Structure 1
Amino acid sequence: MPTTPGPHRDFAAPDVVLPEGACDAHVHVFGPHGRFPYAPGRPFTPEDVPLEVLQEMHETMGLSRAVLVQTAAHGTDHSAVLDALRRFPGRYRGVALLADDVAPAEVAELDAEGFCGVRVHFAPHLGAPPSADALARLVDLIAPHGWHLEVHTMGTGILDFAEHYPQLDIRVVLDHLGRFPMPVDRSPAEHQALLDLLDEQDVWLKLSGADRVSTDLPSMSDGLALARSLFEHRPDRCVWGSDFPHPNTHGFMPADRDLVEGIAVIAPTPAERRLLLVDNPTACFDFDAPAGVDETATTHRRDA
């Protein structure tokens, strides 16, 4: 039985018009568990929200590409994400969860299927954070494939990760606005650490999770204001994600239409929306460039 609620499923089209090739940089797929079982010992059990439901949401909102992030509910069994990558080549990229004893051959196989990163957690409810040695081993495994290290932090986790960052010679993508306690003046050290990381050469940020950090619900005004300020700080290093289907959410469940409408707050102009939703994710996740993207203006870790 599910231990966390599922998303709203009555999708409604937003008023904001998204650019062609718009990317949702942070989503999950769950099950169906009869085909893709959930992991034993998982920290939560979601409702089944398979790929077809995600695609219905994206079609309604005007999103055509996505980064599928492996979830703790499925553990290190990537079958559901692999199914999506194989059925729709080029439309999706994958972010993995890797076991401590993962073999290089498995990473190579995932790379060949369309994975481009691995996620680690500095979030207490998802277990102990990785040690410096574990991070170093991960970097050694994924760097030859041009993958990024995706970092999910909560609370003071951004400070903990910042201590490791100088030893990591790899692209880093930070999740969910850093996910420190709001308002910002309650977490000045965490906010500054996030800004400092964004000023590094190859650190990116997902402007996702406005609903998770906001103290002003249902408007999410403070979360969206934070996202806007971070986008203004580094417009060349931000991508946007819905976090659909909003796993492990308790209490307020955002409507995806409202999250997409929030893009107009984060990136008010068509040029900013194209940068946030098309150009930046193309560069960050090694998508093929859609029409109108100048590939010579992007820097890919694979080409470095």
Structure 2
Amino acid sequence: MSTRFSKTPGWLEYHAAPSTPTYMLPAGTVDAHCHVFGPGDTFPFAPERRYTPCDAGKEQLFALRDHLGVTRNVIVQATCHGADNSAMVDAVRACGGRARGVATVRPDVGAAELRELDSAGVRGVRFNFVKRLVDAAPKDELAAIGAKIAQLGWHIVVYFEGADLPELEGFLGSLPTPVVVDHIGRPDVTRPVGAQEFTRFLRFVERHEVWVKISCPERLSVTGPAALDGERHAYADVVPFARRVVDEFPDRVLWGTDWPHPNLTGHMPDDGLLVDHIPRVARTPWQQHKLLVENPMRLYWPGEDQPGKTV
């Protein structure tokens, strides 16, 4: 562990021994949302961070990738590193083409820095609107970033609370790139899937070039990870929301572990159980292959062969 930084009190570390999934991921599966933290002694955490995590470096991420049967990763810049993308880029470069990155950049980012990130394997930037994690930049500054990265063919990943969509959707819909929404748009799963808030989110996705990550049931669930009837059916209250997105937009959904699961307070998920959650929300082999292989390959590795591509 880092000798330079002390973890936020009560910080939950990632699962040290995740189970082996019973669901076998298809060849070429992409974990399209994961992170690396430090290690802090090598890649210091940002002074302006709102939390200090445990070390969770590329070696641990790659070990999980291989344990679960994942082929590729999309490594998303963690807010604890601010706009210093060094740890993320180091991990992407170490994968030999089997990883892509999503960066955080400042409004004054220059063309040379963007070209360097692109060469390293970065294919997008992240805008975070979750107020407990970051102070969101003014929208005109974010729009300026969007205009710069559009020239590279990148996309924008956005993280927001479901209740905040009404104030954001006009801005998000105006961005000149595809938009990828983290964690199903963080719906309130205590409400019916047909309630106004989630219906508005679905229609937002429908009207724009928006992709949705079917990820983080452990962040959204109230029922939690308890198995049902002795089976590995956890996070049951999230299932209808994820299914609805997969059913309506099979060509624009992605899946990710969110490893090492930052800022959880209730429990730390078993990553094997998260894999076993997949066939509950993507119920056919066709949907599963779209979610896990075809869609992320099309977004992050366009033009490359897609194992087992459906027709």
Q: Name the TM-score, length of structure 2 as normaliser.
A: 0.90
CA distance, structure 2, for counterparts of residue 251 and residue 261 of structure 1? 20
Q: Which residue of 2 aligns with 1:244?
A: 259
Task: Report the 3-state secondary structure (helix = DSSP H, G, I; strand = E; otherwise coil) of the residue aligned with 1:235.
Answer: coil
User: In the alignment, residue 252 of structure 1 is paired with which amino acid?
Assistant: H
Offset at residue 37 of structure 1 (A): 1.0
Q: Which residue of 1 aligns with 2:228?
A: none
Which of these residues, 219, 222, 238, is aligned with residue 237 of structure 2? Answer: 222
Q: Aligned AA for 1:256?
A: D
In the alignment of these two chains, the number of paired residues is 295
Q: Which residue of 1 aligns with 2:150?
A: 143
Aligned to 2:40: 33
Matched, 1:63 2:78: no
CA 1:79–1:187 in 2, change beyond 3 Å: closer, same or farther?
farther
Alpha-carbon spacing, 1:119–1:51, altered in 2? closer, same or farther (3 Å): same
Runs of 4+ residues deviating >6 angstroms = none
- 2:112 matches 1:105: yes
Q: CA deviation at 1:106?
A: 1.0
The whole-number CA distance in structure 1 between the counterparts of 2:308 and 2:24 is 17
CA distance in 1, matches of 2:287, 2:34: 22
For the pair 1:14 / 2:21, whether they are aligned, the reply is: yes
* SS of match in other structure, 2:105: coil
| Gap regions ≥5 residues in structure 1 | 298-304
Shift of 1:225: 2.5
Q: Tell me which residue corresponds to 1:291.
A: 307
**Amino acid in the other structure paired with 2:238:** G
**What is the Cα deviation at residue 156 of structure 1?**
1.9
Provide the residue aligned with 2:229 in structure 1: none
Deviations 1:29-85 (A, max 9, x none): 111111111111211111001111111111111111110000111111111111122
**Which of 178, 186, 201 pairs up with 1:179?**
186
Match of 2:285 among 261, 270, 274: 270
Q: Distance in 1 between matches of 2:139 and 2:185?
A: 20
CA distance in 1, matches of 2:191, 2:301: 32
Contact kept? 1:29, 1:49, Cα under 8 Å: yes
Task: Report the Cα distance in structure 2 between the residues aligned to 1:187 and 1:230, rounded to whole angstroms.
Answer: 12
The offset of 1:99, in angstroms, is 1.6
Question: Which amino acid counterpart does residue 265 of structure 1 have in structure 2?
Answer: R
The whole-number CA distance in structure 2 between the counterparts of 1:59 and 1:145 is 31
TM-score, structure 1 length as denominator?
0.92
Corresponding residue number in structure 2 for 1:301: none
Structure 2 distance, partners of 1:51, 1:70, is: 13
Following the alignment from structure 1 to structure 2, what is the Cα–Cα distance between the partners of residues 274 and 184?
29
Contact 1:68 1:94 in 2 (8 A): yes
Q: Distance in 1 between matches of 2:309 and 2:187?
A: 34
> Percent identity of the aligned residues?
38
Of 120, 127, 140, which residue of structure 2 is paired with 1:133? 140
Deviations 1:96-155 (A, max 9, x none): 011232222211110111100000012111233343312320111100101101000114
Shift of 1:201: 4.6
Q: Which structure has more helix as a fraction of its residues?
A: 1
What 5-or-longer segments of structure 2 have no aligned partner?
A: 1-5, 226-233
* CA RMSD after TM alignment: 1.8
